[in-house]
Structure 1
Amino acid sequence: MKTITSRENAFYKELKQLATSSQARRKAGRSVLDGVHLCQAWLDLHGEPLYCVVSEGALANPEVAAIVQRLEAAHAHVTALPDALFGAVSQVEHGINLLFVIDTPHPAQPARLTESAVLLDGVQDPGNVGSILRSAAAAGIKQVYAGAGTAFCWSPKVLRAAMGAHFVLEIFENVTLLDVVRSSKVAVLATSGYASERLYNVDLRRPVAWVLGHEGQGVSSELLELATHRVAVPHAGRVESLNVAACAAVCFFEQLRQLQA
Protein backbone atom coordinates (compact mmCIF):
# COMPACT_ATOMS: atom_id res chain seq x y z
CA MET A 1 0.00 0.00 0.00
CA LYS A 2 1.24 3.45 -0.94
CA THR A 3 0.46 6.53 1.14
CA ILE A 4 0.04 10.02 -0.33
CA THR A 5 0.02 13.06 1.93
CA SER A 6 0.43 15.95 -0.52
CA ARG A 7 -2.29 17.65 -2.55
CA GLU A 8 0.39 18.35 -5.18
CA ASN A 9 0.97 14.67 -5.86
CA ALA A 10 0.31 13.92 -9.56
CA PHE A 11 -1.77 10.80 -8.85
CA TYR A 12 -3.88 12.69 -6.32
CA LYS A 13 -4.52 15.51 -8.79
CA GLU A 14 -5.60 12.99 -11.44
CA LEU A 15 -7.83 11.21 -8.95
CA LYS A 16 -9.50 14.46 -7.89
CA GLN A 17 -10.20 15.33 -11.53
CA LEU A 18 -11.81 11.93 -12.14
CA ALA A 19 -13.86 12.12 -8.96
CA THR A 20 -15.22 15.62 -9.52
CA SER A 21 -15.43 16.06 -13.31
CA SER A 22 -17.78 14.22 -15.66
CA GLN A 23 -15.76 15.54 -18.59
CA ALA A 24 -12.54 14.11 -17.14
CA ARG A 25 -14.15 10.70 -16.62
CA ARG A 26 -15.51 10.58 -20.16
CA LYS A 27 -12.19 11.69 -21.65
CA ALA A 28 -10.28 9.06 -19.68
CA GLY A 29 -12.93 6.37 -20.23
CA ARG A 30 -13.00 5.67 -16.51
CA SER A 31 -15.56 5.61 -13.69
CA VAL A 32 -15.34 6.06 -9.94
CA LEU A 33 -17.08 3.67 -7.56
CA ASP A 34 -17.53 5.33 -4.18
CA GLY A 35 -18.39 3.31 -1.07
CA VAL A 36 -18.03 -0.20 0.31
CA HIS A 37 -21.11 -1.68 -1.38
CA LEU A 38 -20.16 -0.69 -4.93
CA CYS A 39 -16.52 -1.62 -4.45
CA GLN A 40 -17.37 -5.01 -2.95
CA ALA A 41 -19.84 -5.75 -5.75
CA TRP A 42 -17.28 -4.87 -8.44
CA LEU A 43 -14.59 -6.96 -6.75
CA ASP A 44 -16.87 -9.99 -6.48
CA LEU A 45 -18.19 -9.78 -10.05
CA HIS A 46 -15.29 -8.32 -12.04
CA GLY A 47 -12.15 -8.58 -9.95
CA GLU A 48 -9.53 -5.96 -9.12
CA PRO A 49 -10.01 -2.31 -10.11
CA LEU A 50 -7.39 -0.13 -11.75
CA TYR A 51 -6.89 1.67 -8.43
CA CYS A 52 -8.24 1.36 -4.92
CA VAL A 53 -8.10 4.48 -2.75
CA VAL A 54 -8.88 4.43 0.96
CA SER A 55 -8.70 6.97 3.77
CA GLU A 56 -6.43 6.17 6.67
CA GLY A 57 -9.35 6.36 9.08
CA ALA A 58 -11.39 3.84 7.07
CA LEU A 59 -8.71 1.17 7.41
CA ALA A 60 -10.10 0.44 10.89
CA ASN A 61 -13.43 -0.57 9.35
CA PRO A 62 -13.59 -4.41 9.11
CA GLU A 63 -15.29 -4.41 5.69
CA VAL A 64 -12.75 -2.00 4.26
CA ALA A 65 -9.85 -3.88 5.83
CA ALA A 66 -11.07 -7.14 4.27
CA ILE A 67 -11.29 -5.56 0.80
CA VAL A 68 -7.83 -3.97 1.12
CA GLN A 69 -6.33 -7.23 2.34
CA ARG A 70 -7.86 -9.08 -0.62
CA LEU A 71 -6.49 -6.51 -3.06
CA GLU A 72 -3.02 -6.52 -1.53
CA ALA A 73 -2.94 -10.31 -1.75
CA ALA A 74 -3.61 -9.92 -5.49
CA HIS A 75 -0.89 -7.24 -5.74
CA ALA A 76 -3.45 -4.64 -6.83
CA HIS A 77 -2.83 -0.88 -6.73
CA VAL A 78 -3.92 0.43 -3.28
CA THR A 79 -3.34 3.98 -2.07
CA ALA A 80 -4.09 5.45 1.36
CA LEU A 81 -4.91 9.12 1.88
CA PRO A 82 -5.29 11.20 5.03
CA ASP A 83 -8.98 11.67 5.78
CA ALA A 84 -8.89 15.36 4.79
CA LEU A 85 -7.47 14.59 1.35
CA PHE A 86 -9.95 11.79 0.79
CA GLY A 87 -12.81 14.10 1.68
CA ALA A 88 -11.94 16.34 -1.27
CA VAL A 89 -12.38 13.51 -3.79
CA SER A 90 -15.40 11.67 -2.35
CA GLN A 91 -18.89 12.70 -3.48
CA VAL A 92 -20.58 10.80 -0.65
CA GLU A 93 -21.41 12.58 2.59
CA HIS A 94 -20.88 10.58 5.77
CA GLY A 95 -19.82 7.54 3.77
CA ILE A 96 -17.13 4.97 4.42
CA ASN A 97 -14.05 6.30 2.69
CA LEU A 98 -13.26 3.73 0.02
CA LEU A 99 -13.34 4.10 -3.75
CA PHE A 100 -12.32 2.20 -6.87
CA VAL A 101 -11.29 3.63 -10.23
CA ILE A 102 -12.27 1.33 -13.12
CA ASP A 103 -12.30 1.39 -16.89
CA THR A 104 -15.88 2.19 -17.90
CA PRO A 105 -17.31 -0.91 -19.59
CA HIS A 106 -18.26 -0.45 -23.25
CA PRO A 107 -19.80 -3.73 -24.43
CA ALA A 108 -20.35 -4.27 -28.16
CA GLN A 109 -23.94 -3.46 -29.09
CA PRO A 110 -25.84 -6.39 -30.62
CA ALA A 111 -26.97 -6.06 -34.23
CA ARG A 112 -30.59 -6.33 -33.10
CA LEU A 113 -32.75 -6.95 -30.06
CA THR A 114 -33.37 -10.63 -29.40
CA GLU A 115 -34.01 -10.64 -25.64
CA SER A 116 -35.77 -8.55 -23.03
CA ALA A 117 -34.27 -5.08 -22.73
CA VAL A 118 -34.90 -1.56 -21.46
CA LEU A 119 -34.80 1.44 -23.81
CA LEU A 120 -34.39 4.82 -22.10
CA ASP A 121 -35.69 7.72 -24.17
CA GLY A 122 -34.49 10.96 -22.59
CA VAL A 123 -34.78 9.88 -18.94
CA GLN A 124 -32.87 12.78 -17.44
CA ASP A 125 -32.86 12.31 -13.68
CA PRO A 126 -29.87 10.25 -12.48
CA GLY A 127 -31.86 8.87 -9.56
CA ASN A 128 -34.57 7.61 -11.91
CA VAL A 129 -32.03 6.04 -14.26
CA GLY A 130 -30.27 4.30 -11.38
CA SER A 131 -33.54 3.03 -9.94
CA ILE A 132 -34.59 1.69 -13.35
CA LEU A 133 -31.27 -0.13 -13.75
CA ARG A 134 -31.64 -1.65 -10.29
CA SER A 135 -35.20 -2.85 -11.00
CA ALA A 136 -34.19 -4.23 -14.40
CA ALA A 137 -31.34 -6.25 -12.91
CA ALA A 138 -33.57 -7.53 -10.11
CA ALA A 139 -36.18 -8.65 -12.65
CA GLY A 140 -33.62 -10.55 -14.72
CA ILE A 141 -33.36 -8.11 -17.62
CA LYS A 142 -29.79 -7.90 -18.90
CA GLN A 143 -29.65 -5.19 -21.57
CA VAL A 144 -30.16 -1.42 -21.32
CA TYR A 145 -30.08 0.96 -24.28
CA ALA A 146 -29.74 4.65 -23.38
CA GLY A 147 -30.81 7.12 -26.04
CA ALA A 148 -30.14 10.82 -26.49
CA GLY A 149 -30.94 13.01 -23.50
CA THR A 150 -30.67 10.18 -20.98
CA ALA A 151 -28.45 10.74 -17.95
CA PHE A 152 -24.98 9.22 -18.31
CA CYS A 153 -25.38 5.75 -16.81
CA TRP A 154 -21.90 5.65 -15.26
CA SER A 155 -22.20 8.97 -13.44
CA PRO A 156 -21.68 8.80 -9.64
CA LYS A 157 -25.34 9.57 -8.88
CA VAL A 158 -26.63 6.84 -11.19
CA LEU A 159 -24.09 4.38 -9.81
CA ARG A 160 -25.17 5.07 -6.24
CA ALA A 161 -28.88 4.77 -7.07
CA ALA A 162 -28.38 1.48 -8.94
CA MET A 163 -26.49 -0.13 -6.03
CA GLY A 164 -24.32 -2.41 -8.17
CA ALA A 165 -26.89 -3.25 -10.87
CA HIS A 166 -24.47 -1.91 -13.50
CA PHE A 167 -22.17 -4.86 -12.92
CA VAL A 168 -24.72 -7.47 -14.06
CA LEU A 169 -26.10 -5.45 -16.99
CA GLU A 170 -24.94 -4.71 -20.51
CA ILE A 171 -25.37 -0.95 -20.90
CA PHE A 172 -25.22 0.66 -24.33
CA GLU A 173 -25.13 4.47 -24.38
CA ASN A 174 -25.65 7.14 -27.05
CA VAL A 175 -27.86 4.72 -28.93
CA THR A 176 -30.22 5.70 -31.77
CA LEU A 177 -33.34 4.12 -30.34
CA LEU A 178 -35.33 4.40 -33.57
CA ASP A 179 -32.83 2.09 -35.28
CA VAL A 180 -32.93 -0.35 -32.36
CA VAL A 181 -36.73 -0.52 -32.46
CA ARG A 182 -36.91 -0.84 -36.25
CA SER A 183 -34.57 -3.85 -36.24
CA SER A 184 -35.97 -5.47 -33.09
CA LYS A 185 -36.80 -9.18 -33.17
CA VAL A 186 -38.90 -8.89 -30.00
CA ALA A 187 -42.12 -7.04 -29.21
CA VAL A 188 -41.60 -3.38 -28.29
CA LEU A 189 -43.78 -1.99 -25.49
CA ALA A 190 -43.84 1.77 -25.03
CA THR A 191 -45.28 3.10 -21.78
CA SER A 192 -47.76 5.96 -21.98
CA GLY A 193 -50.25 7.37 -19.52
CA TYR A 194 -52.61 7.95 -22.46
CA ALA A 195 -52.52 4.41 -23.89
CA SER A 196 -55.77 2.44 -23.99
CA GLU A 197 -54.10 -0.97 -23.58
CA ARG A 198 -53.59 -1.99 -19.95
CA LEU A 199 -50.27 -3.50 -18.92
CA TYR A 200 -51.97 -6.44 -17.23
CA ASN A 201 -53.76 -7.48 -20.44
CA VAL A 202 -50.53 -7.93 -22.43
CA ASP A 203 -48.90 -11.35 -22.79
CA LEU A 204 -45.43 -10.87 -21.27
CA ARG A 205 -44.37 -14.53 -21.26
CA ARG A 206 -41.80 -13.74 -23.94
CA PRO A 207 -38.90 -11.35 -24.45
CA VAL A 208 -40.02 -7.72 -24.80
CA ALA A 209 -38.30 -4.35 -25.09
CA TRP A 210 -39.60 -1.75 -22.64
CA VAL A 211 -39.46 1.86 -23.85
CA LEU A 212 -39.47 4.41 -21.02
CA GLY A 213 -39.59 8.12 -21.70
CA HIS A 214 -38.70 11.57 -20.41
CA GLU A 215 -40.08 12.44 -16.96
CA GLY A 216 -42.32 15.20 -18.31
CA GLN A 217 -42.81 14.55 -22.01
CA GLY A 218 -42.90 10.76 -22.01
CA VAL A 219 -41.84 8.55 -24.90
CA SER A 220 -41.30 10.42 -28.18
CA SER A 221 -44.08 10.27 -30.77
CA GLU A 222 -41.74 8.56 -33.25
CA LEU A 223 -41.03 5.68 -30.88
CA LEU A 224 -44.69 5.43 -29.89
CA GLU A 225 -45.61 5.01 -33.55
CA LEU A 226 -43.11 2.19 -34.02
CA ALA A 227 -43.99 0.30 -30.84
CA THR A 228 -45.76 -3.04 -31.05
CA HIS A 229 -47.86 -2.07 -28.02
CA ARG A 230 -48.52 1.20 -26.21
CA VAL A 231 -49.37 0.32 -22.64
CA ALA A 232 -50.53 2.13 -19.52
CA VAL A 233 -50.15 1.11 -15.89
CA PRO A 234 -53.63 1.37 -14.34
CA HIS A 235 -53.78 3.31 -11.09
CA ALA A 236 -56.44 4.55 -8.73
CA GLY A 237 -56.60 8.01 -7.25
CA ARG A 238 -56.26 11.46 -8.72
CA VAL A 239 -52.56 11.53 -9.55
CA GLU A 240 -51.93 12.09 -13.23
CA SER A 241 -49.21 9.49 -13.69
CA LEU A 242 -46.53 7.39 -12.04
CA ASN A 243 -42.90 8.37 -11.69
CA VAL A 244 -40.98 6.74 -14.57
CA ALA A 245 -38.89 4.62 -12.21
CA ALA A 246 -42.01 3.38 -10.40
CA CYS A 247 -43.67 2.65 -13.75
CA ALA A 248 -40.61 0.70 -14.85
CA ALA A 249 -40.61 -1.43 -11.70
CA VAL A 250 -44.29 -2.30 -12.13
CA CYS A 251 -43.71 -3.29 -15.76
CA PHE A 252 -40.60 -5.38 -15.12
CA PHE A 253 -42.10 -7.30 -12.24
CA GLU A 254 -45.38 -7.91 -14.03
CA GLN A 255 -43.31 -9.57 -16.76
CA LEU A 256 -41.43 -11.57 -14.13
CA ARG A 257 -44.72 -12.57 -12.47
CA GLN A 258 -46.10 -13.87 -15.75
CA LEU A 259 -42.89 -15.72 -16.58
CA GLN A 260 -42.77 -17.39 -13.18
CA ALA A 261 -46.47 -18.23 -13.21
Structure 2
Amino acid sequence: MKSISSRDNALYKELKQLATSAQARRKAGRSLLDGVHLAEAYLQQAGTPELCVVAESAVYHAEVAPVLAQCEATGSQCICLPDALYQALSQVENGVGLLLIVATPQPQLPAELTTSAVLLDGLQDPGNLGSILRSAAAAGIRQVFCSAGTAAAWSPKVLRAGMGAHFLLQIFEGADLLSLCKTSKIPVLATSSYAQETIYQIDLTQEVAWLFGHEGQGVADDLMDAAGVKVVIPHLGQMESLNVAAAAAVCFFEQARQRQGGG
Protein backbone atom coordinates (compact mmCIF):
# COMPACT_ATOMS: atom_id res chain seq x y z
CA MET A 1 0.00 0.00 0.00
CA LYS A 2 1.37 3.38 -1.05
CA SER A 3 1.33 6.34 1.33
CA ILE A 4 0.80 9.89 0.09
CA SER A 5 1.47 12.77 2.45
CA SER A 6 1.66 15.81 0.14
CA ARG A 7 -1.21 17.81 -1.30
CA ASP A 8 1.02 18.45 -4.31
CA ASN A 9 1.22 14.77 -5.22
CA ALA A 10 -0.11 14.28 -8.78
CA LEU A 11 -2.34 11.35 -7.86
CA TYR A 12 -3.77 13.21 -4.89
CA LYS A 13 -4.53 16.22 -7.07
CA GLU A 14 -6.36 13.90 -9.48
CA LEU A 15 -8.35 12.38 -6.61
CA LYS A 16 -9.24 15.84 -5.29
CA GLN A 17 -10.50 16.81 -8.74
CA LEU A 18 -12.65 13.69 -8.97
CA ALA A 19 -14.02 14.24 -5.46
CA THR A 20 -15.03 17.85 -6.03
CA SER A 21 -16.06 18.03 -9.70
CA ALA A 22 -18.97 16.25 -11.37
CA GLN A 23 -17.56 17.34 -14.72
CA ALA A 24 -14.21 15.73 -13.91
CA ARG A 25 -15.94 12.47 -12.95
CA ARG A 26 -17.95 12.44 -16.17
CA LYS A 27 -14.88 13.18 -18.28
CA ALA A 28 -12.85 10.46 -16.57
CA GLY A 29 -15.73 7.97 -16.49
CA ARG A 30 -15.11 7.40 -12.79
CA SER A 31 -17.25 7.35 -9.65
CA LEU A 32 -16.41 7.62 -5.95
CA LEU A 33 -17.86 5.14 -3.49
CA ASP A 34 -17.56 6.70 -0.05
CA GLY A 35 -17.86 4.46 2.99
CA VAL A 36 -17.68 0.83 3.98
CA HIS A 37 -21.22 -0.15 2.96
CA LEU A 38 -20.86 1.02 -0.64
CA ALA A 39 -17.40 -0.53 -0.86
CA GLU A 40 -18.64 -3.89 0.37
CA ALA A 41 -21.62 -3.80 -1.97
CA TYR A 42 -19.40 -3.02 -4.94
CA LEU A 43 -16.94 -5.81 -4.14
CA GLN A 44 -19.78 -8.28 -3.72
CA GLN A 45 -21.84 -7.32 -6.76
CA ALA A 46 -19.61 -5.59 -9.28
CA GLY A 47 -15.98 -6.62 -9.06
CA THR A 48 -12.63 -4.95 -8.54
CA PRO A 49 -12.19 -1.19 -8.00
CA GLU A 50 -9.44 0.72 -9.74
CA LEU A 51 -8.29 2.39 -6.55
CA CYS A 52 -8.87 1.99 -2.82
CA VAL A 53 -8.19 5.05 -0.65
CA VAL A 54 -8.01 4.76 3.13
CA ALA A 55 -7.36 7.27 5.90
CA GLU A 56 -4.45 6.51 8.23
CA SER A 57 -6.78 6.25 11.22
CA ALA A 58 -8.92 3.63 9.46
CA VAL A 59 -6.27 1.20 8.20
CA TYR A 60 -6.82 -1.24 11.08
CA HIS A 61 -10.52 -0.53 11.57
CA ALA A 62 -12.47 -3.77 11.95
CA GLU A 63 -14.72 -3.03 8.95
CA VAL A 64 -12.10 -1.40 6.75
CA ALA A 65 -9.28 -3.94 7.10
CA PRO A 66 -11.13 -6.80 5.30
CA VAL A 67 -12.11 -4.48 2.42
CA LEU A 68 -8.54 -3.24 2.13
CA ALA A 69 -7.21 -6.80 2.17
CA GLN A 70 -9.65 -7.86 -0.56
CA CYS A 71 -8.68 -4.89 -2.73
CA GLU A 72 -4.98 -5.67 -2.31
CA ALA A 73 -5.56 -9.35 -3.08
CA THR A 74 -7.38 -8.57 -6.33
CA GLY A 75 -4.80 -6.11 -7.58
CA SER A 76 -6.43 -2.77 -6.89
CA GLN A 77 -4.07 0.10 -6.23
CA CYS A 78 -4.32 1.00 -2.55
CA ILE A 79 -3.46 4.44 -1.17
CA CYS A 80 -3.13 5.57 2.43
CA LEU A 81 -3.65 9.26 3.23
CA PRO A 82 -3.24 11.34 6.37
CA ASP A 83 -6.68 12.02 7.83
CA ALA A 84 -6.59 15.71 6.85
CA LEU A 85 -5.96 14.88 3.19
CA TYR A 86 -8.57 12.14 3.22
CA GLN A 87 -11.23 14.44 4.68
CA ALA A 88 -10.78 16.81 1.74
CA LEU A 89 -11.95 13.96 -0.54
CA SER A 90 -14.89 12.70 1.51
CA GLN A 91 -18.39 14.16 1.67
CA VAL A 92 -19.40 11.90 4.55
CA GLU A 93 -19.34 13.53 7.96
CA ASN A 94 -17.88 11.32 10.67
CA GLY A 95 -17.24 8.58 8.12
CA VAL A 96 -14.95 5.62 8.74
CA GLY A 97 -12.30 6.69 6.22
CA LEU A 98 -12.58 4.45 3.15
CA LEU A 99 -13.47 5.17 -0.44
CA LEU A 100 -13.14 3.38 -3.77
CA ILE A 101 -12.60 4.81 -7.22
CA VAL A 102 -14.44 2.72 -9.82
CA ALA A 103 -15.20 2.92 -13.53
CA THR A 104 -18.72 4.26 -14.01
CA PRO A 105 -20.73 1.53 -15.78
CA GLN A 106 -21.84 2.41 -19.31
CA PRO A 107 -24.35 -0.30 -20.29
CA GLN A 108 -25.47 -0.57 -23.90
CA LEU A 109 -28.81 1.17 -24.34
CA PRO A 110 -31.45 -1.31 -25.54
CA ALA A 111 -33.41 -0.42 -28.66
CA GLU A 112 -36.74 -0.94 -26.91
CA LEU A 113 -38.29 -1.79 -23.57
CA THR A 114 -38.92 -5.51 -23.09
CA THR A 115 -38.50 -6.03 -19.33
CA SER A 116 -39.80 -4.22 -16.27
CA ALA A 117 -38.12 -0.84 -15.98
CA VAL A 118 -38.31 2.65 -14.53
CA LEU A 119 -38.31 5.82 -16.64
CA LEU A 120 -37.37 9.02 -14.80
CA ASP A 121 -38.16 12.36 -16.36
CA GLY A 122 -36.31 15.29 -14.85
CA LEU A 123 -36.01 14.19 -11.22
CA GLN A 124 -33.91 16.83 -9.46
CA ASP A 125 -33.42 15.63 -5.90
CA PRO A 126 -30.51 13.19 -5.38
CA GLY A 127 -32.22 11.69 -2.35
CA ASN A 128 -35.36 10.93 -4.33
CA LEU A 129 -33.36 9.39 -7.17
CA GLY A 130 -31.30 7.23 -4.82
CA SER A 131 -34.41 6.11 -2.96
CA ILE A 132 -36.13 5.14 -6.22
CA LEU A 133 -33.09 3.15 -7.31
CA ARG A 134 -33.04 1.37 -3.95
CA SER A 135 -36.75 0.52 -4.12
CA ALA A 136 -36.49 -0.63 -7.74
CA ALA A 137 -33.63 -2.99 -6.96
CA ALA A 138 -35.44 -4.34 -3.90
CA ALA A 139 -38.56 -5.00 -5.99
CA GLY A 140 -36.64 -6.96 -8.61
CA ILE A 141 -36.60 -4.28 -11.32
CA ARG A 142 -33.32 -4.22 -13.21
CA GLN A 143 -33.38 -1.31 -15.68
CA VAL A 144 -33.62 2.42 -14.98
CA PHE A 145 -33.68 5.06 -17.73
CA CYS A 146 -32.93 8.68 -16.78
CA SER A 147 -33.67 11.64 -19.03
CA ALA A 148 -31.01 14.25 -19.69
CA GLY A 149 -32.60 16.54 -17.10
CA THR A 150 -32.45 14.02 -14.26
CA ALA A 151 -29.88 14.31 -11.46
CA ALA A 152 -26.60 12.49 -12.10
CA ALA A 153 -27.22 8.90 -11.04
CA TRP A 154 -23.59 8.24 -10.05
CA SER A 155 -23.09 11.39 -7.99
CA PRO A 156 -21.91 10.83 -4.40
CA LYS A 157 -25.26 11.90 -2.92
CA VAL A 158 -27.28 9.56 -5.13
CA LEU A 159 -24.87 6.71 -4.46
CA ARG A 160 -25.24 7.15 -0.70
CA ALA A 161 -29.03 7.28 -0.95
CA GLY A 162 -29.03 4.20 -3.18
CA MET A 163 -27.23 2.11 -0.55
CA GLY A 164 -25.68 -0.24 -3.11
CA ALA A 165 -28.68 -0.48 -5.44
CA HIS A 166 -26.58 0.87 -8.33
CA PHE A 167 -24.67 -2.40 -8.54
CA LEU A 168 -27.86 -4.41 -8.98
CA LEU A 169 -29.24 -2.23 -11.78
CA GLN A 170 -28.55 -1.20 -15.33
CA ILE A 171 -28.73 2.59 -15.24
CA PHE A 172 -28.99 4.48 -18.53
CA GLU A 173 -28.44 8.22 -18.38
CA GLY A 174 -29.38 10.76 -21.04
CA ALA A 175 -32.03 8.38 -22.39
CA ASP A 176 -34.65 9.46 -24.94
CA LEU A 177 -37.71 8.58 -22.89
CA LEU A 178 -40.21 9.61 -25.56
CA SER A 179 -38.68 7.25 -28.08
CA LEU A 180 -38.63 4.45 -25.51
CA CYS A 181 -42.29 5.02 -24.72
CA LYS A 182 -43.29 4.99 -28.38
CA THR A 183 -41.38 1.81 -29.23
CA SER A 184 -41.95 -0.06 -25.97
CA LYS A 185 -42.95 -3.71 -26.24
CA ILE A 186 -44.47 -3.56 -22.75
CA PRO A 187 -47.09 -1.26 -21.19
CA VAL A 188 -45.79 2.11 -19.98
CA LEU A 189 -47.59 3.20 -16.80
CA ALA A 190 -47.72 6.78 -15.53
CA THR A 191 -49.34 7.84 -12.28
CA SER A 192 -51.95 10.57 -12.56
CA SER A 193 -54.46 11.94 -10.08
CA TYR A 194 -56.95 12.09 -12.98
CA ALA A 195 -56.68 8.40 -13.84
CA GLN A 196 -59.73 6.17 -13.46
CA GLU A 197 -57.93 2.92 -12.61
CA THR A 198 -55.88 2.41 -9.45
CA ILE A 199 -52.59 0.53 -9.31
CA TYR A 200 -54.50 -2.19 -7.46
CA GLN A 201 -56.83 -2.78 -10.42
CA ILE A 202 -54.11 -3.08 -13.08
CA ASP A 203 -52.51 -6.42 -13.97
CA LEU A 204 -48.92 -6.00 -12.81
CA THR A 205 -47.93 -9.63 -13.14
CA GLN A 206 -46.73 -8.75 -16.65
CA GLU A 207 -43.63 -6.75 -17.51
CA VAL A 208 -44.31 -3.01 -17.24
CA ALA A 209 -42.36 0.25 -17.41
CA TRP A 210 -43.05 2.84 -14.71
CA LEU A 211 -42.83 6.52 -15.67
CA PHE A 212 -42.20 9.19 -13.02
CA GLY A 213 -41.47 12.88 -13.42
CA HIS A 214 -40.09 16.04 -11.88
CA GLU A 215 -40.89 16.58 -8.20
CA GLY A 216 -42.86 19.77 -8.86
CA GLN A 217 -43.92 19.64 -12.50
CA GLY A 218 -44.51 15.92 -12.87
CA VAL A 219 -44.15 14.04 -16.13
CA ALA A 220 -43.82 16.18 -19.28
CA ASP A 221 -47.01 16.40 -21.33
CA ASP A 222 -45.59 14.61 -24.38
CA LEU A 223 -44.41 11.73 -22.24
CA MET A 224 -47.71 11.53 -20.41
CA ASP A 225 -49.48 11.34 -23.77
CA ALA A 226 -47.11 8.57 -24.87
CA ALA A 227 -47.73 6.48 -21.76
CA GLY A 228 -50.19 3.75 -22.66
CA VAL A 229 -51.74 3.43 -19.19
CA LYS A 230 -52.59 6.03 -16.54
CA VAL A 231 -53.07 4.85 -12.97
CA VAL A 232 -53.75 6.53 -9.64
CA ILE A 233 -52.49 5.67 -6.17
CA PRO A 234 -55.57 5.99 -3.93
CA HIS A 235 -54.91 7.64 -0.60
CA LEU A 236 -56.87 8.93 2.34
CA GLY A 237 -56.61 12.34 3.97
CA GLN A 238 -56.20 15.79 2.50
CA MET A 239 -52.73 15.54 0.91
CA GLU A 240 -52.86 16.22 -2.80
CA SER A 241 -50.07 13.81 -3.75
CA LEU A 242 -47.21 11.66 -2.53
CA ASN A 243 -43.50 12.35 -2.72
CA VAL A 244 -42.25 10.83 -5.98
CA ALA A 245 -39.95 8.35 -4.23
CA ALA A 246 -42.78 7.21 -1.97
CA ALA A 247 -45.14 6.88 -4.94
CA ALA A 248 -42.57 4.83 -6.84
CA ALA A 249 -42.09 2.50 -3.88
CA VAL A 250 -45.85 1.91 -3.59
CA CYS A 251 -46.03 1.07 -7.31
CA PHE A 252 -42.98 -1.21 -7.32
CA PHE A 253 -44.10 -3.23 -4.34
CA GLU A 254 -47.65 -3.58 -5.58
CA GLN A 255 -46.09 -5.08 -8.71
CA ALA A 256 -43.92 -7.34 -6.54
CA ARG A 257 -46.95 -8.39 -4.48
CA GLN A 258 -48.94 -9.33 -7.56
CA ARG A 259 -46.03 -11.21 -9.09
CA GLN A 260 -45.66 -13.22 -5.91
CA GLY A 261 -49.27 -14.33 -6.18
CA GLY A 262 -50.88 -11.76 -3.91
CA GLY A 263 -54.65 -11.53 -4.16
Q: How does the TM-score come out when normalised to structure 2?
A: 0.98
Aligned-partner Cα distance in 2 for 1:199–1:85: 50
SS in structure 1 at match of 2:209: strand
Q: 1:257 Cα shift?
A: 0.3
Residue number in structure 2 paired with 1:87: 87
1:130-164 Cα offsets, whole Å, 9 max, x none, are: 00000000000000000131101001000000000
Residue number in structure 1 paired with 2:16: 16
CA contact 1:192–1:218 (8 Å) conserved in 2: no
Residue number in structure 2 paired with 1:258: 258
Residue number in structure 1 paired with 2:155: 155
- Counterpart AA for 1:35: G
| Residues 1:224 and 2:224 aligned together | yes
- Counterpart AA for 2:44: D
Q: 1:90 Cα shift?
A: 0.3
Residue number in structure 2 paired with 1:174: 174
Residue number in structure 2 paired with 1:188: 188
Residue number in structure 2 paired with 1:198: 198
Residue number in structure 1 paired with 2:215: 215
SS in structure 2 at match of 1:194: coil
1:107-141 Cα offsets, whole Å, 9 max, x none, are: 00111100000000111111000000000000000
CA contact 1:191–1:213 (8 Å) conserved in 2: no
Residue number in structure 2 paired with 1:244: 244
Aligned-partner Cα distance in 2 for 1:17–1:207: 42
Residue number in structure 1 paired with 2:105: 105
Q: 1:76 Cα shift?
A: 1.9
* Over 4 Å off, 4+ runs: none
Residue number in structure 2 paired with 1:60: 60
SS in structure 2 at match of 1:131: helix
SS in structure 2 at match of 1:175: coil
Residue number in structure 1 paired with 2:144: 144
- Counterpart AA for 1:257: R
228-237 vs 250-259, which deviates more?
228-237
Residue number in structure 2 paired with 1:41: 41
Aligned-partner Cα distance in 2 for 1:119–1:74: 36
SS in structure 1 at match of 2:258: helix
Unaligned runs of 5+ residues in structure 2 are none
1:191-235 Cα offsets, whole Å, 9 max, x none, are: 123322211111101000000011011111111111111111111
- Counterpart AA for 1:218: G
| Residues 1:134 and 2:134 aligned together | yes
SS in structure 1 at match of 2:12: helix
SS in structure 1 at match of 2:146: strand
| Residues 1:114 and 2:114 aligned together | yes
CA contact 1:192–1:219 (8 Å) conserved in 2: no
Q: 1:60 Cα shift?
A: 2.3
Aligned length: 261
CA contact 1:32–1:100 (8 Å) conserved in 2: yes
Q: 1:64 Cα shift?
A: 0.4
Unaligned runs of 5+ residues in structure 1 are none
1:66-97 Cα offsets, whole Å, 9 max, x none, are: 11111222232000001111001101111111
- Counterpart AA for 2:46: H
- Counterpart AA for 1:221: D
SS in structure 1 at match of 2:184: coil
Aligned-partner Cα distance in 1 for 2:214–2:254: 22
